[in-house]
Structure 1
Amino acid sequence: MMQAVNKQAIAQAFGRAAQSYNQYAELQRLCGETLAGYASRQQGQRVLDAGCGPGWFSQRWRSAGNHVTALDLSAEMLSQARASDTADRYQHGDIEGLPFTEPQFDLCWSNLAVQWCSDLRLALTELYRVTLPGGQILFSTLSDGSLHELAEAWKPLDLSAPVNRFLPPEAIRQAGENLLLTLTQQTLTLGFPDVLSALRSLKGIGATHLHQGRSGGLLSRRHLHQLAQCWPQDQRGYLLSYHLVYGVIHCE
């Protein structure tokens, strides 16, 4: 459940994507709407959006009649959320060390953010710590095997695939084993008209930081041609599959 991550580099990667994020965030919206369906209540709550990005779901929860605190590791993402008036309160911070001294939220929400944490158990424990008795924690994350098309297409190239390692579902379950955690799994596959569009969808949401370091250089025209020959595709186009895990914790 532990992985070495460079939080500063992650924040910088997402900061560079702050203005483009919503343009490319189809996966985040689809995943988030499914996650929202697990909420016990839709309004009248104090909500923490942990890993808010530019605030798409902060705005959703606020518009539904909730008081929303938007938190993000990236100052640029938080500025983008503030500029769009998406929340009632904005807080720069890390999910693994939340800057709140006591429980104060009815719902702690984290959509596709905890996969960037170094210790998932610590992240979930922190969310639990700031959730009021009777409240909920809802989170989504990626599990191993995600982006397998990208990894497969990269094999013939003389470059390492730009794919992070994600935890298997059992490790995610173990991270919350003392927290009354319930997990649900889903696979979403998106199609793109060409290889560049698929790669830009990752860059556009900031998901380009590699925990193991740089992938080895820029792609040449020859590399792109090779990728196009090897990338799995169907009638939807060039595919990217995401193995999603939805977590629900009821706080006592």
Structure 2
Amino acid sequence: MTSAFDAVNKQAVASAFSRAANSYDAAAVLQREVGERLLGMGWQHPGQSVLDAGCGTGYFSRRWREQGKQVTALDLAPGMLAFARQQQAAEHYLLGDIEHIPLPTASVDICFSSLVVQWCGSLPGALAELYRVTRPGGLVLFSTLAQDSLHELGNAWQQVDGERHVNAFLPPEQIAQACQPYRHHLEAVWQTLSYPDVIALMRSLKGIGATHLHQGRGAGLLSRQRLAALQAAYPCRNGQFPLSYHLAYGVIYRD
């Protein structure tokens, strides 16, 4: 199966998220809500050891520790991992890539990865690695963005300069296909956030490091004219500017 983004520049992704480390938690409203929902799908599992794969600032590493779990925090971005360590978010810290996890096979009870695997080159490869490091009887919990996420922003940019400036996320069918080899449960939901203006909306994306594009450059520096053009092209409802996320939540049972 080919991914929608086979040539992900991992170094650029790591740099974008490292730069966002200090602003991330303040901007990450959606990440918080999605992570809490995902955590709720697995927190009653009796297993003790958790891998927070793509831990970011360590917010959910801390949440798992509050549930009495032993947590290893893994991230590709050195800046994020350093921030998580400063917060004493986990017992162990690993600099590494979800597609090549530096852990032995069957070494943790629960793998938790919230809104991270969309940055991987291959979703099947990422899920295979998460499955590999999970012990039999354990769980892999993941959430990701699906096709048409951020469509309002993509459509508005298209009107401004003919380019979408938004990442292409996998269609739900491909996400389901990646889960097919395993016993699993998958659900998809839409969630829309609203902002008072387009600059606040763009700041929220920049604050979570999500302005990095898989292919080539982003929208570039936003001049006042470009921002005004984007705002004029953007759909506005009752004075609010909506941004929609198509979310997929997966639970994979390690047999």
Same fold (TM over 0.5): yes
Q: Aligned pair 1:129/2:137, yes or no?
A: no
Deviations 1:182-208 (A, max 9, x none): 210111100111111000000001011
Aligned 1:68-83 pairs, distance under 5 A: 68-83=71-86
Ranges in structure 2 where 5+ consecutive residues have no aligned partner: none
Count residues in correspondence.
Answer: 252
Partner amino acid for 1:234? Answer: R
Would the aligned equivalents of 1:95 and 1:126 in 2 still touch at CA under 8 Å? yes
Aligned 1:168-179 pairs, distance under 5 A: 168-179=171-182
Q: Kindly, what percent of the aligned residue pairs are identical?
A: 54
Shift of 1:156: 2.2
Q: Aligned pair 1:193/2:184, yes or no?
A: no
Partner residue in 2 for 1:167: 170
Shift of 1:142: 0.3
Partner residue in 1 for 2:94: 91
- In 2, the alpha carbon distance for the partners of 1:62 and 1:117 equals 26
Deviations 1:52-90 (A, max 9, x none): 000110000001110000000001100000001111111
Partner residue in 2 for 1:244: 247
Partner residue in 2 for 1:47: 50
Would the aligned equivalents of 1:161 and 1:215 in 2 still touch at CA under 8 Å? no
Q: Aligned pair 1:61/2:64, yes or no?
A: yes
Shift of 1:236: 6.9
When residues 216 and 140 of structure 1 are mapped into structure 2, their CA distance, relative to the original with a 3 A threshold, is: closer
- In 2, the alpha carbon distance for the partners of 1:179 and 1:142 equals 20
Aligned 1:217-228 pairs, distance under 5 A: 217-228=220-231
Partner amino acid for 1:83? Answer: Q
- In 2, the alpha carbon distance for the partners of 1:176 and 1:222 equals 44
Q: CA RMSD in A?
A: 1.4
Shift of 1:155: 2.0
When residues 186 and 236 of structure 1 are mapped into structure 2, their CA distance, relative to the original with a 3 A threshold, is: farther
Aligned mate of 1:147, from 137, 140, 150: 150
- In 2, the alpha carbon distance for the partners of 1:61 and 1:234 equals 38
Q: Aligned pair 1:33/2:36, yes or no?
A: yes
Partner residue in 1 for 2:216: 213
Deviations 1:89-125 (A, max 9, x none): 1111100000012211111000000000001101000
Q: Aligned pair 1:157/2:160, yes or no?
A: yes
Q: Aligned pair 1:119/2:156, yes or no?
A: no
Q: Say which is worse superposed, 135-144 or 40-49, in terms of deviation.
A: 40-49
Would the aligned equivalents of 1:98 and 1:126 in 2 still touch at CA under 8 Å? yes
Normalising by the residue count of structure 1, what TM-score does the alignment of the two structures yield?
Answer: 0.96
Aligned mate of 1:231, from 234, 238, 241: 234
Partner amino acid for 2:117? Answer: V
Would the aligned equivalents of 2:212 and 2:218 in 1 still touch at CA under 8 Å? no
Aligned 1:12-27 pairs, distance under 5 A: 12-27=15-30
Shift of 1:216: 5.3
Give the SS at the match of 1:165.
coil
Shift of 1:34: 1.2
When residues 164 and 131 of structure 1 are mapped into structure 2, their CA distance, relative to the original with a 3 A threshold, is: same
Would the aligned equivalents of 1:95 and 1:127 in 2 still touch at CA under 8 Å? yes
Normalising by the residue count of structure 2, what TM-score does the alignment of the two structures yield?
Answer: 0.95
Give the SS at the match of 2:21.
coil
Partner residue in 1 for 2:205: 202
